[in-house]
Structure 1
């Protein structure tokens, strides 16, 4: 049995860059507002991590939003509504990533550590390829150039289905799945890893659940930061995370932890998703 980690598959927003995953949140709020329907930040963040059309569907069919849509437009929230909102959302998100593309503190060091230790880097994302065509060069200029980038819409199903993970591993020639660690800031991303048979590691403070910039997080009283960490940890563990850490800065410790579990004979297990 292989007992060494070969690769880390990384999510993008809230995991490697865009501390607090703020770009997509704002674009969702603005896109619904374009059609005269107000959604809250909590509404926008709820399904984060999923493919963006799926995300729009879940937001729009939530009871309060569905009622508001019906009152405004005189019809139910349907596939035509999803298409219309997506057409507005995608360019908004493309513009938003330009302002929210900075690597999360500690990310570059973690990536360099992986390179120095022979651990390969791939990526999956809930962003579409047009969004990533704008974001990827901004990340590359800061030193983030994963071997593979699998986008929402590239395959038949997005998160929490395992197809993006399997596609990334196949493109990299990496197997078995037990030698791969997935880092993600959202429960759907954790589900993606578990469904693929990989190690799933949640990020508590850098991503969507905490939802704060570096500066706003640092300004919190320690007790409030601890409360955010506990809430995020609970959400990730419910989704099936094997481990939860604060951010990608903890990646070297994550690899050491998972490697020890592998060497003790543990495997990540496989969670079936329907």
Structure 2
């Protein structure tokens, strides 16, 4: 496979991803209430995504319509320095949101590169093991799983998040 082949696959895939991302915009259970509680305490909410900007431009309003709207967000292709696992997107949130001490920031992510991103930026990094690609299931699939299957997937995902340096990966 050549670089041109990869570019062609990406070009064919991107319109599909942009069209379908809104179908997966429902916030994780408890997120909207958690964000509201954090904001009530005066905390700012930033977001870093592995999605490129064209995808985020569809996802952000769809998530906002369901109650999740960060104060600032960065897409993986926004910064010349690159995306994860480098610290750049997390640090751009810090700069834009006017946070004066990175050590006061907590990076929450469901992917190992996102955990590494937070650590590289000097932040506490907390892993969500029952979410995202590491767990590998939709909410509906999760609800239909046996307790044993959930435990197996949770452990597998948590192991990857802990290996990336995450704390409280559960």
The interval holding the TM-score normalised by the smaller chain is over 0.9
| 2:67 is aligned with 1:149 | no
CA distance in structure 1 between the partners assigned to 2:16 and 2:100 by the alignment: 37
CA distance in structure 2 between the partners assigned to 1:241 and 1:93 by the alignment: 28
Write the deviation string for residues 10-49 of structure 1: whole angstroms up to 9, x where unpaired.
Answer: xxxxxxxxxxxxxxxxxxxxxxxxxxxxxxxxxxxxxxxx
1:210 to 135, 150, 154: 135
Tell me which of 92, 108, 131 is aligned to 2:55: 131
Q: 2:102 aligns with which of 161, 177, 192?
A: 177
Out of 242, 254, 274, the position equivalent to 2:167 is 242
Aligned pair count reads 169
State the match for 1:100 in structure 2: 24
Tell me the equivalent position of 1:227: 152
Paired residue secondary structure (1:183): strand
Cα distance between partner residues in 2 of 1:231 and 1:115: 32
Report SS of the residue matched to 2:133: coil
CA RMSD, 1 decimal:
1.2
Q: CA deviation at 1:78?
A: 2.8
After TM superposition, the runs of 4+ consecutive aligned structure 1 residues lying more than 2 A away are: none
1:201 matched to 2:120? The reply is no
Structure 2: state its 5+ residue gaps: none
* Counterpart in the other structure of 1:71: none
Where do residues 55-134 of structure 1 align in structure 2 (5 Å cutoff)? 77-134=1-58
Query: When the two structures are superposed, what TM-score results if normalisation uses the length of structure 1?
Result: 0.60
Aligned to 1:262: none
Equivalent residue for 1:192? Answer: 117
**1:113-166 Cα shifts (integer Å, max 9, x gaps):** 111121110111011111111111111111222111111111121100111111
| Alignment match, 1:168 | 93
Larger radius of gyration: 1
Cα displacement (A) at 1:215:
2.1
Q: Could you give the per-residue CA deviations for residues 220-243 of structure 1, whole angstroms, max 9, x where no partner exists?
A: 221221111111111101011022
- CA distance, structure 1, for counterparts of residue 95 and residue 140 of structure 2: 38
Give the CA deviation at 1:172: 0.6
Tell me the TM-score normalized by structure 2: 0.94
3-state SS of the aligned residue for 2:17? helix
Residues 169-228 of structure 1: per-residue CA shift (max 9 Å, x gap): 001111311100011111011110111010111111122111112122122221221111
Q: Residue 169 of structure 2: SS of its match in structure 1?
A: strand
Secondary structure at 1:209's aligned position in 2? helix
